[in-house]
Structures are given as structure tokens and as C-alpha cells.
Structure 1
């Protein structure tokens, strides 16, 4: 599969529309990753009444395992989980929402390839 940079190299018109090209690196399981999850939590506070506890060790570890630290994959799971929670009028994203989001999204995309199980279904998941 082609990378976005390969596409831009062969398509000068498209390349001209994107003058600045940035490469996002994978998150490591460190404070920067947890800070990012905390920022997401703060954004979600505008939508939900209660915290979703994304930085709790079992949820942050499960998210990291599920996504390999890929920003797009983290966002896809969180967005899908939020949609599911909103649909059932929940007060926050619950672990079951993340499990369902991973099941529906992750298994169909690169995120879930090579994963033997859904980490959000494991109680007190730890890396």
C-alpha cells in the first residue's frame, strides 16, 4: 500500500496543495501518551457529564495495546466509542463502548491486525 508521501511525489497538483508535510510518530507508552489521553478527556467533558477515565491504567494500557500508539487509531476508537455512548445516552464512554469500537473498527483495519483478543474486555488489563 502506498504511503501518503508516495502519492504526493507522483501527483504534483496534490503535492502543491499540501506545502507543509509533517510526519507523526507513534506514541510511546509514557507521560506524553498519558497527557494526550488527558487532553482527550478534557475535550470529552464538553460532551459527557462524567469522566471516561481514559488515563486509568487498565484503559490506557488497553488503548495502547489496541492501537500500537498510532494517533489515528486512537482517535478512531475514541470517536467510535463516543458515538456509541451518545447513542445510548450514557454519561461517559464506558469500557464496553471502547471494546465495541475496537471490535467494529480495529478488527477491520490495521489497528486490530495480529491482535489475539480485545484488550478492553479484560478486567484490569495491563501491558
Structure 2
């Protein structure tokens, strides 16, 4: 199995574990926004939104730039390839297990059918 940066995965999944932070990423996927705009959109205080943006920024999913008194947020340059690959490896593992389970169930059904005849 491929080795992944545990710290990076932990930071990414922690950032993505919150619905507000996922919403912020969706919003920033449409257009850059200031922390004030994001706070208003999500009906939060500035302090609360700053904390959410900070978590996303630490995970590399968002970048911010301060011009004067306005801090603008945009999607970070880091994509989620490593996280997607980690998820895919487990999806393949579970698919294989379910395929094996399907075979066993079919064998049991066939045996039950043969025994009934």
C-alpha cells in the first residue's frame, strides 16, 4: 500500500470534517471572498470564521491575503490527490471484500437450491 503523510492526511481530514469548512471550500470554489463575506454567508462571527479559515489554511486548502484591513480568502494551490488516493485504496479493498462476500452468498444460495431439489 502507498505510504501517505499521516500529518497531512490528518490535517486535511480534520479540516474537511466540519460542514462549515466544507461549505467555505464550496463557496471559494465559486469566487474568492473576504472573511467578512464568509462570516455573513454562514451567519457566524468574524472570530468564528477566522478560526475555520485558519484550519483550512493550515491544511493548505485555503490561502489568505491581507490588503489593508481586508483579508481575502481563496482556494489553496494544494489539491486533494493524496487524500483521494488514500480513499481509493480503501474503496478497492472494500470492493474486493464485498465481491468475495457476494461469491459466498451465491454459493450458499446454490447449495440451498441443490439441497431442496
Output the TM-score relative to the length of structure 2: 0.23
Higher-Rg structure is 2
Which structure has the highest helix share of the two? Answer: 2
Output the TM-score relative to the length of structure 1: 0.22
Which structure has the highest strand share of the two? Answer: 2
